[in-house]
């Protein structure tokens, strides 16, 4: 499905435009709420039926059994060891729950959910051919309505408690992000509006410390990315991967932590996804996403070892050579366990 946004002058991209020739200007317009982003390459699933919310609640990390019509939520599907497999954005209309996911997640997630139905009263459908996603940070977009409810997902990242909550204003407070579902037939009309590319959206997301599935590798657990802030309920019933979530939260520390890196821009390059982060000669982490921000300059998100000194200047491998990188702490290395277990004396010690 070719997006009409790619027919605009200056549009550069494959499935959707990455930019229209002025990525930094597009960022400013997006941040000011005067531009929209074509995300029509993302997938839309629906789950209908009276058991839909309790069913989804039983399998994923967020407490969504009582999700009210029009209310937004985010939840994670974890593997049995607590590693992140899918990140799901949810909005319910009172009869159907709408799942917004990155494009390559749609088909495998729909297939997995369909296998998990058993005898429950739920129906899973892929609605990507009918509906498209438009992103914005304040720009009004007319949404599809279902049961009288506009299908707009509003990011809970800004309001959620997390590891960083006690250290002043969280940059998520300046991230009024929403995703709106529209009929695909309306994309041509929307393409005439002021628009920003996905590069602009990614830069603003990095500045807000906001994780998405692109930041996840096969070892990632929610604590490492501060995803407890928006996508994990610690007081709900059992779900797949809950044992790891509870154990790390109550008794341990995440083995890695998310940082925002402020990169040296003198070489004029950005590191690739997966670029090695080093402290001296030692590898301490990997870059997940990097972008040029219109105010902050070159920035990135990276997962580094928990014990990496937060004050240390790191370097990041790039095609032009090592880039100096200053850390901004997202998940603190001393993020404490919720339960302080007393140390037991050694047998025979006095």
pLDDT tens for the 350 residues of the chain, in order:
789 999 999 999 999 999 999 999 999 999 999 999 999 999 999 999 999 999 999 999 999 999 999 999 999 999 999 999 999 999 999 999 999 999 899 999 999 999 999 889 999 999 999 999 999 999 999 999 999 999 999 999 988 776 654 456 789 989 999 999 999 999 999 999 999 999 999 999 999 999 999 999 999 999 999 999 999 999 988 999 999 999 999 888 999 999 999 999 999 999 999 999 999 999 999 999 999 999 999 999 999 999 999 999 999 999 999 999 999 999 998 875 654 444 445 555 55
Tens of pLDDT, residues 146-191: 999 999 999 999 887 766 544 567 899 899 999 999 999 999 999 9
Terminal alpha carbon distance of the chain: 73
Residues 205 and 316 in one domain: no
Residue 64's pLDDT is what? 97
> By C-alpha distance, which of 123, 117, 77, 116 is closest to 97?
123
The model's pTM:
0.93
Q: Return the pLDDT at 338.
A: 55
Q: How far is CA 226 from the centre of its chain?
A: 10
> What is the per-residue pLDDT for 334?
82
Is the same domain home to 36 and 100?
Answer: yes
Element (H, E) at 110: helix 103-115
Instruction: Give the domain range for residue 149.
Output: 4-215
133 shares a domain with 40: yes
Length of the chain as a residue count: 350
User: Which of residues 164, 193, 215 is at a domain's end?
Assistant: 215
Helix, strand or coil for residue 87?
strand
What's residue 164's pLDDT? 54
Residue 346 has a pLDDT of: 55
Distance CA 59, CA 237 (A): 10
Within a domain: 139: yes
17 and 77 together in one domain? yes
Structural domain includes residue 225: no
Q: Do 184 and 284 sit in the same domain of this protein?
A: no
Residue 276: CB atoms within 10 A of its CB come to 16
What pLDDT score was predicted for residue 341? 45
> What SS3 state is found at 37?
strand
CB atoms within 10 A of CB 235: 5
340 part of a folded domain? no
Angle at 158 between CA 178 and CA 135, to 5 degrees: 15
On whether both 141 and 279 belong to a single domain, the answer is no
348 within some domain? no
Any domain includes 349 = no
Look up the CATH number of the domain holding residue 291: 2.40.30.110
Cβ-based neighbours of 96, under 8 Å, separated by 6 or more: 46, 47, 48, 52, 146, 147
Number of domains in the chain: 2
Same domain for 59 and 194, yes or no, is: yes
Say yes or no: 197 and 260 in one domain.
Answer: no
pLDDT for the residue numbered 165: 45
Domain's final residue, options 156, 188, 215? 215
In a domain, 40, yes or no: yes
Residue 84 near residue 245, CB atoms below 8 Å:
no
Residue 206 near residue 270, CB atoms below 8 Å: no
| Domain C-terminal end among 155, 189, 215 | 215
Q: What is the CATH number of the domain that holds 120?
A: 3.30.1360.120
Any domain includes 286: yes
Is the same domain home to 190 and 56? yes
Q: How far is CA 327 from CA 124, 175, 304, 312, 350, in A?
A: 43, 21, 10, 8, 44
309 in the same domain as 197: no
List 178's β-bridge partners, or say none.
Answer: 136, 154
Asked whether the CA dihedral 225, 19, 174, 137 is positive or negative, the reply is negative
Q: How far, in Å, CA of 245 to CA of 81, rounded?
A: 9
| Region label for 256, one of left (φ > 0), alpha (ψ between -120 and 50) or beta (otherwise) | beta
267 lies in the same domain as 149: no
């Amino acid at each position: 499905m070719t997006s009409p946004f790619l027919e605009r002058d200056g549009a550069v991209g494959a499935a959707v435009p990455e930019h229209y020739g002025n990525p930094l200007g597009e960022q400013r317009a997006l941040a000011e709420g005067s531009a929209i982003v074509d995300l029509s390459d993302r997938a839309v699933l629906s789950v209908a039926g009276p058991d839909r919310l309790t069913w989804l609640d039983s399998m994923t990390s967020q407490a969504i059994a009582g999700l009210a019509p029009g209310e937004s939520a985010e939840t994670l599907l974890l593997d049995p060891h607590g590693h992140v497999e899918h990140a799901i954005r949810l909005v319910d209309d009172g009869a159907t729950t709408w799942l917004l996911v990155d494009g390559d997640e749609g088909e495998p997630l729909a297939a997995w959910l369909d296998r998990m139905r058993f005898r429950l009263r739920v129906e899973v459908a892929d609605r990507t051919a009918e509906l498209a996603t438009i992103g914005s940070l304040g720009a009004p977009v007319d949404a599809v309505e279902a049961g009288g409810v506009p299908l707009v997902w509003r990011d809970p990242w800004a309001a959620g408690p997390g590891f960083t909550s006690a250290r002043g204003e969280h940059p998520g407070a300046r991230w009024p992000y929403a995703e709106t579902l529209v009929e695909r037939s309306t994309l041509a009309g929307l393409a005439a509006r002021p628009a920003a590319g996905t590069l602009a959206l990614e830069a603003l997301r990095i500045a807000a410390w906001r994780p998405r599935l692109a930041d996840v590798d096969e070892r990632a657990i929610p604590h490492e990315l501060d995803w407890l802030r928006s996508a994990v309920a610690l007081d709900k019933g059992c779900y797949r991967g809950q044992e790891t979530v509870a154990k790390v939260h109550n008794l341990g520390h995440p083995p890695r932590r998310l940082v925002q890196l402020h990169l040296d821009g003198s070489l004029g390059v950005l590191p690739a996804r997966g670029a090695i982060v080093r402290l001296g000669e030692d590898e301490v982490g990997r870059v997940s996403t990097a972008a040029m921000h219109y105010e902050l300059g070159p920035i990135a998100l990276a997962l580094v070892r928990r014990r990496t000194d937060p004050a240390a200047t790191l370097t990041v491998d790039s095609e032009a050579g090592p880039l100096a990188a200053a850390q901004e702490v997202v998940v603190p290395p001393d993020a404490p366990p919720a339960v302080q277990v007393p140390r037991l004396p050694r047998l025979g010690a006095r």
